[in-house]
Amino acid sequence: MSEPHYHINLLWSDEDGCWIADAPDLRYCTTHGDTPEAALANVREAIAGWLEAAAANGMPIPEPRYRPSIYAARFAA
């Protein structure tokens, strides 16, 4: 079985003064970093930890479902 690929949102936060990265399919799986690369590395590590903790505690692993709104607009026409 292949590892699921979860969508990652990456954005700059003026309020926090750093890059924010999150995996919308995994509740509360959000990190930050001083650079986009750092935020992405951090969220990839957080995803792995989230999945490991869920498996260790018998929690269901969600299927990757999140799609940015750009996909909805693409198929609406």
Residue 25 lies in a domain: yes
Name the pLDDT band for 19 (thresholds 50, 70, 90). very high
Which pTM was predicted? 0.82
In this model, does residue 1 exceed pLDDT 90? no
Residue 1 lies in a domain: no
Residue 38 lies in a domain: yes
Backbone angles phi, psi at 50, to 5 degrees: -60, -50
In this model, does residue 52 exceed pLDDT 70? yes
Tracing tokens 């909805």 back to the chain, one arrives at 72
Backbone angles phi, psi at 11, to 5 degrees: -150, 155
pLDDT value for 71? 63
The CATH number for 43's domain is 3.30.160.250
Residue 13 lies in a domain: yes
Please state the domain count of the chain: 1
Host domain of residue 51: 9-76
> Are the C-beta atoms of 39 and 17 separated by less than 8 Å?
no
Residue 3 lies in a domain: no
